[in-house]
Amino acid sequence: MQFAGSHIISVDQFERADIEAIFAVADRMEPYAHRRKITRVLDGAILGSMFFEPSTRTRVSFGCAFNLLGGHVRETTGFEHSAIAKGESLYDTARVISGYSDIITMRHPEPGSVTEFANASRVPVLNGGDGSNEHPSQALLDLYTIKLEMQGRGGGIDRIRIALIGDLRFGRTVHSLCKLLSLYRDIDVLLISPPELKMPGEIVATMREAGHSVTETENLAAHIGNVDIAYSTRLQEERFGSQEDADRYRGRFRLNHHFYTQHCDPNTVIMHPLPRDSRAVANELDNDLNDNPNLAIFRQADNGVLVRMALFAMVLEVVDQIDNDSRGVNWYTGSRFQKPAP
């Protein structure tokens, strides 16, 4: 695809070569994201960050990614702090904010809303999650993490065996990730969810058309032993009609040290888009796994910065200039960035 000036709304926009191009640029961002070097390639540029749903990682890492390229960030968070609360349309908001910004990141609870906004925007818009629909930058960072974790084990993305666990109906990260996996070969996909929270049929069909083996089940213990990646997710309670509806599924699949030792291959990589729900009623990914070297969740979150830097650099067409005028950092940076387990 042509990245320069494009909106990034859905992973359907990408072909495999595009993903590889993004990952190659993400690799080049490592010295900057890991605070060994500084670049000012986006000096003077403004990111309009519009987040109308709760967010920590996506909002802050998009912002940091832009800052690390030398740009400035203007944030709007929550409808209550925006003129949308006064009845302003997405069209008008997009027309206005795109005059103030060079690029926009947006999260909104309605599927399709980011497309509607992008259609009215005068600058590129990157989708930070539109309801239960899609979360393209998350899927890219998930796939980038899978690539790095599997590389450490002598493998690649093709032929991986992956289990997606939890709320596969409303979870936008797994929707986008499954669509991306359809660009790769011979993947074994295990979809573990309650029947009411199954992966949408059209996404399952896309994976089968890609030649992947897809198994849908409710039985975590019976199947989890045969995967390279166990990708757990949070119950998307905000998309349920009522709290009672959501409560019926809370805590249904719990991954903890005991379960992992009993049922998983000792090399299994553990992933989660985060936030994990650590309340006792849910606890889908227990803190007792925190010291497990295969727990990739924080490496995954760190990788988000590299991938988002790559997207900004490609869409704003500065990839070739990143290393111009770069220099070392002035401050103590420590060694906070972990490599995947061997």
Residues that bind ligand NCD (CB under 6 A): 57-58, 129, 135, 138, 172-173, 234, 273-274
Q: Where are the beta strands (DSSP E) in 120-159?
A: 125-130
Asked if 58 and 93 touch (Cβ cutoff 8 Å), the reply is no
- Name the minimum Å distance from CB 170 to ligand NCD: 9
Give Cα separations from 77 to 90, 240, 330 (angstroms).
Answer: 15, 22, 32
User: Residue 155 or residue 200: which is nearer to ligand NCD going by CB?
Assistant: 200
Query: Looking at residue 280, what DSSP letter applies?
Result: T
Report the alpha-carbon distance of residue 245 to residue 241 in Å, rounded. 7
User: Residue 59 or residue 223: which is nearer to ligand NCD going by CB?
Assistant: 59
- Name the minimum Å distance from CB 136 to ligand NCD: 11
Asked if 149 and 160 touch (Cβ cutoff 8 Å), the reply is no
- Name the minimum Å distance from CB 294 to ligand NCD: 20
- Name the minimum Å distance from CB 271 to ligand NCD: 11
- Name the minimum Å distance from CB 114 to ligand NCD: 13
User: Residue 48 or residue 171: which is nearer to ligand NCD going by CB?
Assistant: 171
- Name the minimum Å distance from CB 141 to ligand NCD: 9
The residue length of the chain stands at: 342
Catalytic positions are 57-58, 86, 107, 135
User: Residue 210 or residue 231: which is nearer to ligand NCD going by CB?
Assistant: 231
User: Residue 210 or residue 252: which is nearer to ligand NCD going by CB?
Assistant: 252
User: Residue 169 or residue 234: which is nearer to ligand NCD going by CB?
Assistant: 234
Strand, coil or helix: what is 271?
strand
Smallest CA-to-CA distance from 316 within 24, 32, 44 is with: 44
Per DSSP bridges, beta strands 327-328 and 37-38 are antiparallel
User: Residue 59 or residue 161: which is nearer to ligand NCD going by CB?
Assistant: 59
DSSP string across 213-263: EEEEES-HHHHGGG-SEEEE----GGGSSSHHHHHTTTTSS-B-HHHHHHH
Report the alpha-carbon distance of residue 130 to residue 128 in Å, rounded. 7
- Name the minimum Å distance from CB 4 to ligand NCD: 26
Q: Which residues contact 98 (CB under 8 A, 6 or more apart)?
A: 48, 104, 120, 121, 122, 123
Enumerate helices (H) and strands (E) in the chain, giving the number of each: 12, 11
Report the alpha-carbon distance of residue 196 to residue 189 in Å, rounded. 19
Strand, coil or helix: what is 73?
strand
| Closest residue to bound ligand NCD by CB | 234
Asked if 61 and 308 touch (Cβ cutoff 8 Å), the reply is yes
Report the alpha-carbon distance of residue 153 to residue 117 in Å, rounded. 42
